[in-house]
């Protein structure tokens, strides 16, 4: 069975670990979000690709969900001693090596997809990991910064409206101000990376893990051609809700959902994807009352436990998603 999964970072990576357990013989292709990518200290950092690679390759910091296990931060400390930031983005020493290798290969002319494949040679994630695009796409967030946090001369109380990099919004500001708009800069001109459309066309099942619907899966779908290929693939497309009990399980997805006018509920996220894209949707058992509304939108829906508390629980979620896909196929 050929499974294609669109993935962000933590939610995508943890789900993939369960999927590999649930379908050990499946051929899994992961299309990774690169809208979170950022250049720091002259290095290209791809947080979501690395989270998937480290999680499936056994190198992730388990408690944190991102970054390397057994990490140290000497380079960061030395940079800070020179007054070189940003101090808000935690790059550890082990992690730095990945970004150095990546940047070196990119500078030598290799596309990001080839670089990712080379990095995965070491990590052996057990899936084929492809960035959504080899072209640069960077998610920006339009915000109005309070006067104290902006360069404006202050006093007016109106703040300054500006677009900041998604990482600055997410990591530095912790989404503490409303996101007024989310813009995947460069997406319109980006082309799907080699292998992306081919994998979608060859898939037996396409899964949306409980990744962020706006800045993870939404960004992947913003690359022209990907959404269309998925809608036209003619195979079941099944998603799992990252929203449980009307709140994100982890993180601040509600803030970016608000920016696109979607309420933070399992049903609203399904409607946001829409029946043109999604055939099936899993909500958590606490959201069982959402099933009717999702089905009314033309999307087959089941309520099952959706907390990825451990690999086994996550494998059961993946099993449910595959079962729902078969149900859709048989319908």
Binding-site sequence positions = 50
C-alpha span between 138 and 122 (Å, rounded): 27
Which stretches of the chain are DSSP H helices? 10-22, 47-57, 74-81, 93-107, 112-123, 166-167, 196-202, 217-221, 226-232, 253-259, 266-273, 291-296, 311-330
Partner from Ca ion, ligand GDP, none binding residue 59, C-beta < 5-8 Å depending on class: none
Per rule CB under 6 A, is residue 307 in the interface with ligand GDP? Answer: yes
If one asks whether residue 216 binds ligand GDP (CB under 6 A), the answer comes out as: yes
Scored b (16 or more CB within 10 A) or e, 84-110 reads eebeebebbebbbebbeebbebbeeeb
Q: Which is nearer to ligand GDP, 230 or 253 (CB)?
A: 253
Query: Which residue, 11 or 125, is less far from ligand GDP as judged by CB?
Result: 11
Write the DSSP symbol of residue 111: -
Looking at the Cβ atoms of 208 and 293, the one nearer to Ca ion is 208
CA atoms within 13 A on the CB side of 51: 26
Residue 12, binding choice from Ca ion, ligand GDP, none, Cβ under 5 to 8 Å by partner class: ligand GDP
- Closest contact distance (angstroms) between CB of 284 and ligand GDP is 6
Residue with tokens 């007024």: 180
**Binder to ligand GDP among 4, 5, 10, 56 (CB under 6 A)?**
10
The reply on whether position 253 binds ligand GDP by CB under 6 A is yes
Supply the minimum distance, in Å, between the C-beta of residue 3 and Ca ion.
Answer: 21
Q: Which is nearer to Ca ion, 36 or 271 (CB)?
A: 36
- The binding site for ligand GDP (CB under 6 A) comprises 7-12, 48, 51, 210-212, 216, 240-242, 244, 248-251, 253, 306-308
């Amino acid at each position: 069975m050929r499974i294609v999964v669109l993935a962000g970072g933590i939610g995508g990576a943890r789900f993939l670990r369960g999927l590999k357990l649930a379908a050990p013989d499946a051929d899994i292709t992961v299309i990774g979000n690169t809208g979170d990518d950022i250049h720091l200290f002259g290095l290209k950092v791809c947080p979501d690709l690395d989270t998937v690679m480290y999680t499936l390759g056994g190198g992730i910091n388990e408690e944190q969900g991102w970054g390397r296990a057994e990490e140290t931060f000497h380079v960061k400390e030395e940079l800070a001693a020179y007054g070189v930031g940003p101090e808000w983005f935690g790059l550890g020493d082990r992690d730095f090596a990945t970004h150095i290798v990546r940047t070196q290969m990119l500078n030598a002319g290799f596309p990001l997809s080839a670089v990712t494949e080379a990095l995965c040679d070491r990590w052996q994630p057990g899936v084929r990991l492809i960035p959504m695009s080899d072209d640069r796409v960077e998610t920006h967030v339009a915000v109005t910064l309070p006067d104290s946090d902006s360069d404006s001369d202050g006093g007016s109380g109106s703040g300054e409206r500006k677009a900041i990099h998604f990482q600055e919004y997410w990591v530095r500001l912790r989404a503490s101000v409303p996101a007024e708009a989310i813009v995947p800069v460069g997406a319109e001109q980006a082309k799907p990376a080699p292998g992306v459309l081919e994998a979608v066309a060859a898939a037996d099942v396409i899964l949306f893990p409980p990744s962020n619907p706006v800045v993870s899966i939404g960004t992947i779908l913003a690359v022209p051609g990907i959404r269309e290929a998925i809608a036209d693939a003619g195979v079941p497309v099944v998603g799992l809700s990252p929203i449980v009990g009307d709140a994100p399980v982890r993180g601040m997805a509600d803030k970016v959902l608000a920016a696109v006018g979607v309420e933070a509920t399992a049903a609203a996220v399904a409607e946001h994807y829409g029946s043109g894209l999604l055939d099936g949707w899993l909500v958590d058992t606490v959201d069982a009352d959402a099933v009717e509304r999702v089905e009314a939108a033309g999307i087959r829906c089941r309520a099952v436990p959706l907390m990825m508390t451990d690999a086994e629980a996550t494998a059961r979620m993946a099993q449910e998603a595959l079962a729902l896909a078969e149900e859709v196929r048989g319908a």
